[in-house]
């Protein structure tokens, strides 16, 4: 694995750790990564919507805006899946915190 891939993987891991703590900026950055295909991940609108949704729930206005923008490019089924994944993430982080 090259240095750039290692650093991208480390960045994603650190953002996931911060996101688990409810860090709206980290949640938003994960949404950006999946919506643009940056930091070593492929473009995935379902994942992007999930992270923007979670950022919005944690008070991010940018998360709200980006969630709305990518939702326009998604099917109702894809949006429902993104919402299901966001609920699962929330349930998992609450369970780990308890």
Total of domains in the chain? 1
* Residue 9 pLDDT greater than 70, yes or no: yes
Token duo for residue 79: 């949006």
DSSP the chain: --HHHHHHHHHHHHHHHHHHTT-HHHHHHHHHHHHHT-TT----HHHHHHHHHHHHHTT-HHHHHHHHHHHTTS-HHHHHHHHHHHHHHHHHHHHHH-
* Residue 93 pLDDT greater than 90, yes or no: no
Domain hosting residue 28, numbered range: 3-97
What's the pLDDT tens digit per position in 13-60? 888 889 988 899 999 999 999 999 998 899 999 999 999 999 999 999
């Amino acid at each position: 694995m090259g240095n750039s891939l290692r650093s991208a993987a480390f960045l994603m891991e650190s953002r996931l750790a911060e996101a688990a703590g409810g860090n709206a900026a980290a949640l938003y950055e994960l949404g950006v990564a999946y919506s643009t295909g940056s930091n070593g991940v492929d473009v995935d609108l379902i994942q992007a919507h999930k992270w923007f949704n979670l950022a919005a729930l944690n008070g991010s206005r940018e998360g709200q805006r980006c969630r709305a923008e990518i939702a326009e490019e998604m099917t109702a089924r894809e949006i429902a899946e993104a919402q299901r994944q966001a609920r699962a993430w929330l349930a998992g982080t609450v369970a780990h915190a308890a």
